[in-house]
Amino acid sequence: MVTGAASGIGYAIAERLIAAGGSVVAFDLDSRGLDTAAERFGDAFIPHHGSVTDTRDVQAAVTLAESAMGGVDGLFNVAGGLRPAPVTDLTEDDWDFTIDLVLRSVYLCTKYVAQSMIRAGSGGAIVNVASVNAHLPLFGGSAYAAGKSGADMFGKNAALELARHGIRVNTVLPGLVETPMAGFILENEGIMNEFYANAVLKRPAQPDELAAPAVFLASSDASYITGSSLVVDGGYEIGSYPDLSKHL
């Protein structure tokens, strides 16, 4: 099961899994994007339109996976987003929206997929997509950074608790990736000039460059890796993060 599968990193993960012979329950609010992907990938791409922050929608996605595929052996928590604003201007609604999307969704999907994996008795792997902002503050993104930091630690806690059931849990922390969600940064010339000046590899990532390590962490090649946090940011964390306050 892949959340946020209609575009960006989630889409790239689904594409890799299907290319390797797998089937994917693709969970997203973007029904048009899901329909377009289903036309491309065929029966291996099983769309599920719903909200990853709604318990009933998450339970329905798990039920669909069990009926359509016989169960879930891998979960990729990718769905994300934010409503940026400085702390002093950030509304409670926008705080709740962001925390729900980047943290509550990880908890809900992990909870119900893990229950399904435990019932099946064959273990599995869960990969969360957090952000380098779990480690680096983001001007205007306090809720996003706090939520992603929480998702990173939640993954470690889940790894600790679920290991006895043969379930591994790991987290990937992307830097700047060319996805629709990052449009407000990618389209800001001032921010991007600072990015190119400070980033080690001098470019944003493509979605597939995050999909590859995410799929690796769910594979048998990573059978002895759990509770890890893999930063995939082109070295941005060791560079210098731009001061977005000058541009927002």
Residue with tokens 């800001």: 188
Spatial separation of the C-alpha atoms in residues 229 and 216, rounded to whole Å = 13
From the number of C-beta atoms within 10 Å of its C-beta (0-12, 13-18, 19+), residue 93 rates as: exposed
Residue 2 phi/psi, 5° resolution? -125, 120
Spatial separation of the C-alpha atoms in residues 126 and 85, rounded to whole Å = 31
Angle at 177 between CA 174 and CA 183, to 5 degrees: 130
**144 catalytic per annotation:** yes
- Please give the structure tokens belonging to residue 124: 């599995």
- Please give the structure tokens belonging to residue 107: 């908890």
3-state secondary structure 124-161: EEEEEECCHHHCCCCCCCHHHHHHHHHHHHHHHHHHHH
- Please give the structure tokens belonging to residue 155: 């993954």
Q: Are 141 and 82 in contact (CB under 8 A)?
A: yes
Determine which one of 11, 112, 144, 241 is catalytic. Answer: 144
User: Which residue numbers are catalytic?
Assistant: 144
